[in-house]
């Protein structure tokens, strides 16, 4: 584990490196007058973070670190993390398709979601990807699949240890009334889980996920311990190792206050070793599902400032970074605060006296503000605002409000020599926006009018015509 001085040195290096990347992006025209906003991902940083994750868990026990695709649902990113030794955790058919497009083999993919259809389950079992069932009804559905007997899939059951919620309810998945998993503390629920392992010999894994942002590591560890204790009980009851693997979920929170990585994966693994030493005995294969903690601090978003104005004695910068890119931050600013950097049009950091300002986005509603009342160097039209720590979710959770384009996402490396960029996803075009909004079916509704386009009809029945 790095010392405090070493961590401080690394943070200074990272900050200087980020500034150099912003200057290079502006010089290359990746953000500015022609491209109002763009996301950037630090390829070297992602690789370094994944190496730290592998080192944190060490060689004591076999473990599959499966990247949570929802955190950065971009095929080149998934190829990057796969090349660095991770698998993928997917929560929908779309995410499964992305993982497969990135070249992930079936035995390194884990399917989680609370509402899998029969068709989704059948595909997963045919492919041989691991499946974590959300509930007992889903286990019944799996048991009826024709391909079950010949599948290479590993099957788990998600449980809710009901250890409580963190500070953000929407991110807490082990509360008393969470929609996820089979509850362990409800009357009779534990017995039903035990019976399921008696009934289904192919069921060999337990899955738990306590939550993510706003959930402190001690809470996460308590849920994992409860799940490990359940695995031990199942195995004692069977007189053999019925549960052979434990999926610990992800959920390590990210520090958005500054550049320090806290808690680190090493600190988290040390906590688990102390709280649940049996995890590292070698008796269980482990799976993790980290997403945000792998990419969040390895990315940033840059956007152009179009205008500035003085309103009510406060300066407001109208930018192209708003709710369409930072949806959670705009609607839950206390839970998802983002640091903001101010750069001149050429990408150099703007210094000087600070004043209280708002940084607003382009969406057509008054609440579209990513930062309120921040002390920042005076922002001018044409400047670039940089939203820090947006490598996780901010590149993949775009909101299509106002039909604003999804920005380009660029990966970069700045380890040796000049900064080099690679396009991860191009900026969405106006033609693509129109196509997504049904342009190919422009006449579809008019065609439903039996009296022809533009004719108001004859009144009476408002169903649009008789049904045959």
pLDDT tier for residue 463 given thresholds of 50, 70 and 90: very low
What is the reported pLDDT for 294? 96
HEC string for 234-295: HHHHHCCCCCCEEECCCCCCCCCCCCCCCCCHHHHHHHHHHHCHHHHCCCCEEEECCCHHHH
Which segment, 1-10, 95-104, 331-340, is predicted with the most confidence on average? 95-104
What percent of the chain is predicted at pLDDT more than 90?
76
Q: What is the mean pLDDT of residues 47-71?
A: 95
What is the pTM assigned to this prediction?
Answer: 0.92
Q: What are phi and psi of 23, to 5 degrees?
A: -60, -45
Q: Please state at what angle helix 189-199 crosses helix 217-238, rounded to 10 degrees.
A: 50
pLDDT tier for residue 453 given thresholds of 50, 70 and 90: low
What percent of the chain is predicted at pLDDT more than 70?
91
Q: What would the two tokens of residue 81 be?
A: 């993390």
Smallest Cα–Cα separation from 156: which of 117, 124, 188?
A: 124
Q: What would the two tokens of residue 73 be?
A: 């649902």
Residue 464 has pLDDT above 50, yes or no: no
Q: What is the mean pLDDT of residues 285-297?
A: 95
Whether domain 61-290 has CATH 3.20.20.10:
yes
Residue 14 has pLDDT above 50, yes or no: yes
Q: What is the mean pLDDT of residues 94-103?
A: 98
Fold of 297-431: Lyase, Ornithine Decarboxylase; Chain A, domain 1 (2.40.37)
Report which DSSP code applies to 23. Answer: H
Cβ–Cβ under 8 Å, residues 246 and 286: yes
β-strands 63-68, 314-319 pairing = unpaired
Task: Report pLDDT digits (tens) over 221-279.
Answer: 888 989 999 999 999 999 999 999 999 988 788 888 888 998 999 999 999 999 999 99
Task: Report pLDDT digits (tens) over 350-390.
Answer: 999 999 999 999 999 999 999 999 999 999 999 999 999 99
Task: Report pLDDT digits (tens) over 140-170.
Answer: 999 999 999 999 999 999 998 876 666 656 6
**Block residue for tokens 């337990």:** 206
Cβ–Cβ under 8 Å, residues 307 and 380: no
What is the reported pLDDT for 215? 58
Q: Where in the chain is the domain with CATH 3.20.20.10?
A: 61-290
What is the reported pLDDT for 335? 87
Residue 12 has pLDDT above 90, yes or no: no
How far is Cα 455 from Cα 461, in angstroms, rounded to an integer? Answer: 15
Task: Report pLDDT digits (tens) over 309-321.
Answer: 999 999 999 999 9
pLDDT tier for residue 406 given thresholds of 50, 70 and 90: very high
10 Å Cβ neighbour count for 331? 13
What is the reported pLDDT for 46? 97
Concatenating the DSSP letter of every residue in 404-423 gives PPPPEEEEEE-SSSS-EEEE
**Mean pLDDT over all residues of the chain?**
91
Q: How far apart are the first and last CA of the chain?
A: 73
Q: Where in the chain is the domain with CATH 2.40.37.10?
A: 297-431
Cβ–Cβ under 8 Å, residues 1 and 56: no
How far is Cα 160 from Cα 170, in angstroms, rounded to an integer? Answer: 15
Distances (CA, A) of 391 to 20, 39, 50, 174, 386: 17, 8, 14, 26, 12
Smallest Cα–Cα separation from 129: which of 151, 158, 157?
A: 151
What is the reported pLDDT for 178? 73
- Could you tell me which residues are beta bridge partners of residue 411? 41, 422
Residue 66 has pLDDT above 80, yes or no: yes
10 Å Cβ neighbour count for 434? 13
Residue 209 has pLDDT above 50, yes or no: yes
How far is Cα 130 from Cα 110, in angstroms, rounded to an integer? Answer: 5
Residue 7 has pLDDT above 80, yes or no: no
Residue 460 has pLDDT above 60, yes or no: no
């Amino acid at each position: 584990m790095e010392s405090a001085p070493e961590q401080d040195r690394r943070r200074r290096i990272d900050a200087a490196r980020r500034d150099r990347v912003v200057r290079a992006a502006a010089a290359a025209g990746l953000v500015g007058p022609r491209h109002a906003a763009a996301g950037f991902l630090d390829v070297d940083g992602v690789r370094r973070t994944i190496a730290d994750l592998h080192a944190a868990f060490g060689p004591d026990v076999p473990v599959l670190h499966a990247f949570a695709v929802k955190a950065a649902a971009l095929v080149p990113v998934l190829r990057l993390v796969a090349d660095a030794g991770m698998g993928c955790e997917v929560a929908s058919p779309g995410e499964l398709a992305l993982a497969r497009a990135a070249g992930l083999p079936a035995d390194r993919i884990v399917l989680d979601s609370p509402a899998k259809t029969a068709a989704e389950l059948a595909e997963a079992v045919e492919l041989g990807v691991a499946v974590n069932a959300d509930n007992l009804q889903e286990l019944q559905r799996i048991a009826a699949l024709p391909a079950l007997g010949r599948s290479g899939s590993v099957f788990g059951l998600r449980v809710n240890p009901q250890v409580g919620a963190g500070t953000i309810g929407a991110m807490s998945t082990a509360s008393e009334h969470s929609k996820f998993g089979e509850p362990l503390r409800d009357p009779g629920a534990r017995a039903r889980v035990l019976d399921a392992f008696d009934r289904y010999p192919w069921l060999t894994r337990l899955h738990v996920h306590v939550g993510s942002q706003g959930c402190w590591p001690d809470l996460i560890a308590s849920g994992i311990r409860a799940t490990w204790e359940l695995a031990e009980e199942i195995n004692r009851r069977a007189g053999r190792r019925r549960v052979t693997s434990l999926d610990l979920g992800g959920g390590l929170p990210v520090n958005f206050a500054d550049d320090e990585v806290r808690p680190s994966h090493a600190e988290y693994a040390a906590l688990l070793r102390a709280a649940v030493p049996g995890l590292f005995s070698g008796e269980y294969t482990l799976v993790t599902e980290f997403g945000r903690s792998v990419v969040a601090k390895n990315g940033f978003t840059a956007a152009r400032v179009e205008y500035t104005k003085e309103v009510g004695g406060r300066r407001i910068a109208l930018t192209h970074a708003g709710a369409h890119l930072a949806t959670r931050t705009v609607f839950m600013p206390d839970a998802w605060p983002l640091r903001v950097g101010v750069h001149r049009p050429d990408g150099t950091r703007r210094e000087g006296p600070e004043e209280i300002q708002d940084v607003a986005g382009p969406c057509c509603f008054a609440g579209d503000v990513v930062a309120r009342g921040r002390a920042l160097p005076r922002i001018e039209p044409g400047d670039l605002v940089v939203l820090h720590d947006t490598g996780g979710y901010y590149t993949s959770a775009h909101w299509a409000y106002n039909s604003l384009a999804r920005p380009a996402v660029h990966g970069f490396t700045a380890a040796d020599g000049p900064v080099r960029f690679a396009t991860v996803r191009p900026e969405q075009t106006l033609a693509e926006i129109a196509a997504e909004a049904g342009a190919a079916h422009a006449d579809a509704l008019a065609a439903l009018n039996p009296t022809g386009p533009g004719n108001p009809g004859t009144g009476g029945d408002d169903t649009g015509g008789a049904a045959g």
